[in-house]
Amino acid sequence: MISFAAGLILALGIGIPGPPQVASKFPLAAFVGKDFKALTRDELEPMRRFLVSKRIGSDSDPRLDVANRLGGRYDPWALWDWGGDGSKFVLAIAQYGKVIPSQSRGGVFIFDSAGNVVGSSTFGVGWRTFPTSIETQEVAGVGKVIHFSSRPVINGREDVAGFFVGMDGSRPALIRIADKKDRVVPNVYFASNHQLGPAFDTADVIDKLKSDSPIRVLEALNWFAGMHALPDPQGWMSSGEKISDAVRYRTLAGLPETFALIFSLTHSANPWIRDAARLALEHRGWPYR
């Protein structure tokens, strides 16, 4: 038999060492959760060197100036240990356009525990738009997402207050654009300077609509709800979108099977999916669509 004191020690785990805590190998682990605007350029220098070594913001998108604008007091940055277990880290960046008119740019970069880039996307954050913050949100029925908030400047798009990016494995995906009242609004595909968020691959759009993944369903619905180019290579409205994508949209959107599939999603228990599906149907008669 063991004594009362020994039993108490065993019950409470007093003096019994737990599993060893292994320090993260991720080179930027010290910057996770930090307020980048509060750090000095010297404090940010290790991060700048790391990002430059990965050619982030140069080859990925020359309009994204990571090396020189890290730590700028107007540009929001955020870095997270995405799952909290040190296996995946996500860096999100937004940079305002330096002149008016111009497009603000952003990016999402996904790293493994060793600091290798395993997924990324650079994209527009808005035309005549000022990015204000980047944060994560837990959305019921969707999961953890990144919220890029913004406000319009002179003649900017007044109906957009930000957009949401979800993670499809190691692929960032645009899943929702919202106004100040959190109502879903359409993306603009026919003009590249107005297009928001990560690019969309149309090859498997119907499979995404049928997916069990809310991220993929929302991504596909966002595309169907968007404003698309007229499939005329001579027309100005085709300048911002591939003609093949515009033709694909019009072909798929005109099929009864597509309508039935999207209509079924208007009754989804997931409010974001329900809203996006309704928008896709309500705006079928818009110009450029």
Name 176's Cβ contacts closer than 8 Å, sequence gap at least 6.
Answer: 163, 164, 184, 218, 222, 272, 276
Which of 56-70, 212-226, 240-254 shows the lowest mean pLDDT across its residues?
A: 56-70
What residues does each domain of the chain span? 23-197, 200-289
In the structure, what pLDDT confidence band is assigned to residue 23 with cuts at 50, 70 and 90? low
Per-residue three-class SS string for the chain: CCCHHHHHHHHHCCCCCCCCCCCCCCCCHHHCCCCHHHCCHHHHHHHHHHHHHCCCCCCCCCCCCHHHHCCCCCCCEEEEECCCCCCEEEEEEEECCCCCCCEEEEEEEEEECCCCEEEEEEEEEEECEEEEEEEEEEECCCEEEEEEEEEECCCCCCCCCEEEEEEECCEEEEEEEECCCCCECCCECCCCCCCCCCCCCHHHHHHHHCCCCHHHHHHHHHHHCCECCCCCCCCHHHCCCCHHHHHHHHHHHCCHHHHHHHHHHCCCCCHHHHHHHHHHHHCCCCCCC
Nearest to 120 by CA among 61, 67, 71, 63: 61
Residue 272, both tokens: 């974001």
Q: What percent of the chain is modeled with pLDDT above 70?
A: 84
- Determine the pLDDT at residue 207: 97
Instruction: Count other C-beta atoms under 10 Å from residue 100's C-beta.
Output: 13
- Region of 110 on the Ramachandran plot (φ > 0 left; ψ -120 to 50 alpha; else beta): beta
Q: What percent of the chain is modeled with pLDDT above 90?
A: 65
Interval 261-277: pLDDT, tens: 999 999 999 999 999 99
Interval 46-78: pLDDT, tens: 999 999 998 887 666 777 887 778 877 789 999
Nearest to 240 by CA among 103, 120, 108, 148: 103
- Determine the pLDDT at residue 19: 46
Which of 174-178, 215-219, 244-248 shows the lowest mean pLDDT across its residues?
A: 244-248
- Residue 101 above 60 pLDDT? yes
Query: Is the pLDDT higher at 15 or at 245?
Result: 245
| Amino acid in position 33 | G
- Determine the pLDDT at residue 166: 98
- Determine the pLDDT at residue 231: 66
